[in-house]
Structure 1
Amino acid sequence: MAGTPESTGGPIRPVVALGLATVSFVALLIFGLGMVSLALSADIVETPGLGQIPGVVATALTTGAFALILWLGLRRRHPSFWTALWTALGCYVVYVVTLWLAVATAADPATATDVAGRIATTWFGVVVAATAAVAAWGGIGLVRTRSQRPRWPWEDEFDE
């Protein structure tokens, strides 16, 4: 179409990168926790009678923490990849703490400590931190890239 400006390439806007990274984090977290649960033949929260609510609450609040911490890094002029480390650590702490709080409201503090301690010291905690690091790294990479959109050879202007 004549008169429509063509994209000149450049970095992805931080808001778009944040959205993509957050969706990736949730998908990787659910997949990773499910695969670890399958591999270990163990539930994430093995205490009977608690249901799924503590896990849902912990995942929702951890997703919010992921988005907040990553946004603080992405809004800089030139985001640092160190933000991925801080995001991973923040998500790990928020997941364990919110899981403890969610279980403590449904059961007693001793049960909550047992559940949160198990998450913090097993592969489940590693999955939370690793998925946050990978998704944050990808979001930061999207903002930092200076490449242009892919083009087919016949799209070059010099051929016309």
Structure 2
Amino acid sequence: MMSLATNTDVIDTRGLTAVPGALGIAFATGAFAVALGVGLRPRHPSFFTALWAALAAALAYLAGVWIGAVGTGADLALATSVIGRLAIGWAAPVVALGGAIAAWGGVAVARTGARPPHWPWEGDDAE
């Protein structure tokens, strides 16, 4: 959405395909899932889990973009300059912010012991 709002490409580098961006998001999603899964293991998870999940997602995003760029034929300097621009631009901070918000919500749900809704007319007996 940020790309649409600012009318800019996320990765504005000639010769790169969509593979680095897609791989970066895949890496970020995996890292987020692992960080949140590990953070939710304790009986009373800490909200610091959101910080670690956000950091893991942002760093994995950058690593995935770098690996995707090198894997599609970009040289090391070009791949490194791309992730440098992503890190100091808006893309990596947006990934980190999204990860922090989602992880905070996950920790909040885990801490409250939320269960699916149960309506008063729903009995535990089988009909």
TM-score category, normalised to shorter length? 0.7 to 0.9
Cα distance in 2 between the residues matched to 1:147 and 1:54: 38
Letter in 1 for 2:87: A
Residue by residue over 1:43-83, the C-alpha shift from the partner in whole angstroms, topping out at 9 and shown as x without a partner, is 11111221111111111111111110100011111111110
Moved more, 61-70 or 100-109: 100-109
State the partner residue of 1:45. 11
Does residue 140 (structure 1) correspond to residue 107 (structure 2)? The answer is yes
Pick one of 64, 69, 72 that aligns with 2:30: 64
Pick one of 70, 91, 95 that aligns with 1:128: 95
Where does the alignment leave 5 or more consecutive residues of structure 1 unmatched?
Answer: 1-34, 156-160
Letter in 1 for 2:62: V
Cα distance in 2 between the residues matched to 1:77 and 1:126: 30
Superposition TM-score, scaled by structure 2 size: 0.85
Shift of the 148–108 alpha-carbon distance from structure 1 to 2, 3 Å rule, reads closer
State the partner residue of 1:92. 58
Moved over 6 A (4+): none
Aligned length: 122
**Highest RCO, 1 vs 2 (Cα 8 Å, sep ≥ 6):** 1
Letter in 2 for 1:139: G
Superposition TM-score, scaled by structure 1 size: 0.69
Larger radius of gyration between Structure 1 and Structure 2: 1
Cα distance in 1 between the residues matched to 2:33 and 2:15: 31
Letter in 2 for 1:109: L
